[in-house]
């Protein structure tokens, strides 16, 4: 029988604490080592009849660090910049428009496990509907007051076995802002990370990460923002962690921000440098 479960998740860019609440007495299905296709198929077929409620509070440590550096160490922040369009601190911390958020997820959940292997990480897959709220927005490492609401259909998961890890996220959603200077949007996002400790340290094809997100104005369907990342994970021999580096860029259209937030001196192009550690 399913039970209420408290699940923490730690990451330099997103750390959260979730409360899993079963809506039925049925046990959480365990898909073990099923193929990605079978995992996606199971989640899709069962997401239309929600069986679990997930309450989550999350914080974005690196984006908050960028905000703190710009606010409390402005001289150092300026020294990290070249011209108007590149700042190393912004490049490392960009891509997350909220400092924190609370969310409610309703849908289906599955477990992943291997016989005789201790559970590490969340080892769960999710598919369903997510509702999120935050009262602040981040632009170029500056906090902006904005009650914003997000609703999305999402499929995400993490399968963490000894020597191999796989995580993924596919989502389509809409975001509404009370701040009139931030344009409402609908968006599409894809992320997939694969880590194998059995692959050579300098292997080019293995341990590759990719991420993409497109935002369109609502109404109008004008492209407001696009973000692309590709990266590599480098397992450390004899250790249970890997160094990770994603590189890419984000482009903002002229109408993403209006009024007092319309920075004419910024080209809208931002280089993204995202170091991390996979434990």
Spans of all domains in the chain: 5-278
64: left (phi over 0), alpha (psi -120 to 50) or beta: alpha
Helix or strand (DSSP H, E) at 135: strand 124-139
Q: Which of 144, 138, 152, 141 is nearest to 185 (CA)?
A: 152
Using omega within 30 degrees of 0 as the cis cutoff, is the peptide bond preceding 18 cis? no
Question: What per-residue confidence (pLDDT) applies to 202?
Answer: 58
Tokens of 218: 């609502």
Question: What per-residue confidence (pLDDT) applies to 199?
Answer: 65
Q: Does the structure show a pLDDT above 90 at 181?
A: yes
Query: For 222, which DSSP code?
Result: -
pLDDT category at 235 given cuts 50, 70, 90 is: confident
Phi and psi torsions of 89, nearest 5°: -65, -45
Q: Look-up: residue for tokens 């990480």?
A: 121
- The whole-number average pLDDT for the span 205-225 is 91
Q: Does the structure show a pLDDT above 80 at 200?
A: no
Q: Does the structure show a pLDDT above 60 at 1?
A: no
- The whole-number average pLDDT for the span 87-111 is 94
- The whole-number average pLDDT for the span 173-182 is 97
Helix or strand (DSSP H, E) at 240: none
Question: What per-residue confidence (pLDDT) applies to 33?
Answer: 76
Question: What per-residue confidence (pLDDT) applies to 37?
Answer: 80
Question: What per-residue confidence (pLDDT) applies to 29?
Answer: 82
Residue 94 near residue 272, CB atoms below 8 Å: yes
Q: Does the structure show a pLDDT above 90 at 201?
A: no
Question: What per-residue confidence (pLDDT) applies to 171?
Answer: 96
Radius of gyration of the CA atoms of the chain, in A: 20
- The whole-number average pLDDT for the span 234-261 is 88
Question: What per-residue confidence (pLDDT) applies to 64?
Answer: 97
What percentage of the chain reaches a pLDDT higher than 70? Answer: 93
What is d(CA 201, CA 238) in angstroms, rounded to the nearest whole number? 12
- The total number of residues shown for the chain amounts to 279
Phi and psi torsions of 159, nearest 5°: -115, 115
| DSSP-assigned beta bridge partners for residue 195 | 165
* Mean pLDDT, the chain, whole residue set: 89
| DSSP-assigned beta bridge partners for residue 104 | 55, 131
pTM, entire model = 0.89
CB burial readout 127-162, b (16+ within 10 A) else e: bbebebebebbbbbbebbebebebebebbbbbbbbe
Helix or strand (DSSP H, E) at 74: helix 74-79
Question: What per-residue confidence (pLDDT) applies to 157?
Answer: 87
What is d(CA 94, CA 66) in angstroms, rounded to the nearest whole number? 8
Please give the C-alpha separations between residue 131 and each of 39, 151, 156, 260, in angstroms, as whole numbers.
23, 5, 15, 28
What is d(CA 9, CA 17) in angstroms, rounded to the nearest whole number? 6
Q: Look-up: residue for tokens 């809409």?
A: 174
């Amino acid at each position: 029988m399913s039970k209420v479960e408290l699940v923490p998740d730690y990451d330099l860019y997103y750390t959260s604490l979730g409360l899993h609440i079963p809506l039925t007495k049925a046990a959480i299905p365990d898909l073990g080592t099923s193929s990605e296709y079978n995992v996606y198929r199971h989640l899709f077929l069962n997401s239309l009849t929600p069986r679990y409620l997930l309450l989550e509070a999350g914080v974005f440590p690196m984006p908050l660090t960028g905000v703190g550096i710009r606010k409390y160490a402005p001289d150092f922040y300026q020294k990290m910049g070249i011209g108007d369009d590149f700042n190393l601190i912004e490049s490392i911390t960009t891509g997350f428009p909220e400092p924190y958020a609370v969310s409610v997820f309703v849908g289906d959940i599955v477990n992943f496990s291997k016989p005789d292997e201790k559970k590490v990480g969340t080892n769960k897959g999710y598919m369903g509907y997510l509702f999120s709220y935050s009262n602040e927005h981040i632009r170029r490492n500056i906090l902006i007051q904005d009650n914003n609401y997000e609703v999305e259909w999402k499929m995400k998961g993490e399968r963490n076995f000894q020597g191999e890890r796989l995580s993924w996220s596919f989502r389509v959603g809409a975001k509404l802002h009370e701040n009139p200077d931030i344009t409402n949007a609908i968006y599409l996002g894809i992320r997939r990370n694969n880590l194998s400790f059995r692959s050579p340290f300098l292997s080019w094809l293995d341990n590759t990460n990719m991420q993409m997100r497109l935002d369109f104005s609502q109404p109008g369907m004008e492209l407001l923002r696009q973000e692309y990342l590709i990266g590599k994970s480098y397992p450390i021999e004899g250790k249970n962690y890997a160094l990770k580096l994603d590189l890419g860029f984000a482009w903002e259209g002229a109408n993403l921000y209006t009024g007092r937030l319309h920075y004419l001196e910024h080209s809208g192009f931002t280089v993204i440098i995202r170091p991390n550690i996979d434990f």
